[in-house]
Homo-oligomer: A and B are copies of this chain.
């Protein structure tokens, strides 16, 4: 399919008339065809109004029909074939194998949500029996969750498939029964157009209401701000920078009717190397650390940007091995020229901080926009004194904190901002200390992992990709995994509603075979 440079508004393809742009191939710095037109305010408004008009019919689709629609989106994405991977590769500089894996994750995510929709446990169907003999009598009370309304989704630059047009936010919002208006990321406009068309085809093939999905394109913040301020939009999913996320939060809070914004923003993902584990395998851990740090040019929300360990021989050995490992790492193309220049200036700023030493760097790159990995270190006192050292440098940069002892490692932990992940390397001899650390870290992060590295976010039921502010704007939620659907729901109680008028999930004979809470007990 030829790319057209068009937005997708309901059933239509629309060429934006308010200026526009080209995608850039970061590996060459060259503009890519076609030209993409930006939405006029009317275009964005039309997408929102269509979403509003679709909401009632879409939310009342059966669980089976909605699940089939999610699966149809997955099928349509696969049906694009290699053209999708080829375009995404050119637009993002990400390797083909990685993008194929990411496509698999994207369609599996849609299929997981199809299963979640069918199971219906997200409805939280709850029934309390009438108690006619009580004084006063208790009426019949039933509760289920319903979708919030149209959702605005802002894709991430670093996951052009799994966190973009048909990514986790879109999949979970559609699963919840919310129409979606996506603002495409300008870093991968062709990829977005291809995926957007796949969703549009699925909408039409499955007879979903026209406004169930739209995708608009725009420069910088304008179209995004208009979306979040639009009265019909009822929630926002965002993955990106802290500044970008907070700007949307402020807009949402200033609305006449404020709405929730689920912004996944920034984290430095501390990795703790406890002493017995470290002394057993310092060199091996160093290699794994550098591999994780440089994966995807370090462009993961969960990139290990901070390493904590106790001073000593094992730490020295770890550092020496990390220097060697990083020195062998080739420079890698970053997603966009803007991300590359932010990375370069982040590294410069870090090198200029007092008492921070650069330990080593990767091989320099000659092509445009290639990031060279960097590891630095400082002592714990320096880190605690200088809050700038907690700023995320998006890319393959990590800071190693040398602590005097475990007590100081815990003190540093108390100074940390909220994180998406925290990692502990520990063997059995470290468990007493690991236990204390785990109790502290669970209050600081959304995911705590042992003896691994945080890059790699499984899409499953138990995943939490979230965490305390500023890693996200709402620590009560996850943007990955089955429970991401909960972000777009709210409960409604039905009191003494006649049987003929009850929502299906709450009817006595349980036609959808849901697990329900009946008088406080879960049952089929």
Contacts and interface: CB of A to CB of B under 8 A. Distances in A.
Contacts of A500: 428, 431
Interface in A249-268: 249, 253, 257-258, 260
B464 A143 contact: yes
A7 interface: no
**For this complex, into which size category does the number of interface residues on chain A fall?**
35 or more
A257 B473 CA distance: 9
B495 A452 contact: yes
A463 B141 contact: yes
A442 B497 contact: no
Interface in A300-316: none
Interface in A443-474: 443, 445-452, 456, 458, 460-464, 466, 468-470, 473-474
A342 interface: no
Given A466-B491, A500-B431, A460 B148 contact: no
Contacts of A142: 462
A141 B496 contact: no
A482 B491 CA distance: 12
A490 B519 contact: no
A456 B492 contact: no
Interface stretch (A34-42, A185-193, A433-441): A433-441
A1 interface: no
A81 interface: no
A450 B468 CA distance: 41
A99 to B, nearest CB: 16
B522 A452 contact: no
Contacts of A452: 139, 495-496
Interface stretch (A15-23, A120-128, A156-164, A330-338): A120-128
A203 interface: no
Nearest to A135: B101
6 contacts: A121-B522, A128-B463, A138-B460, A257-B470, A431-B501, A447-B492
Given A119-B520, A450-B495, 19 more contacts: A121-B517, A127-B462, A139-B449, A143-B463, A143-B483, A146-B442, A428-B500, A431-B498, A431-B500, A448-B493, A448-B494, A449-B495, A449-B496, A452-B495, A452-B496, A464-B492, A464-B493, A466-B490, A478-B491
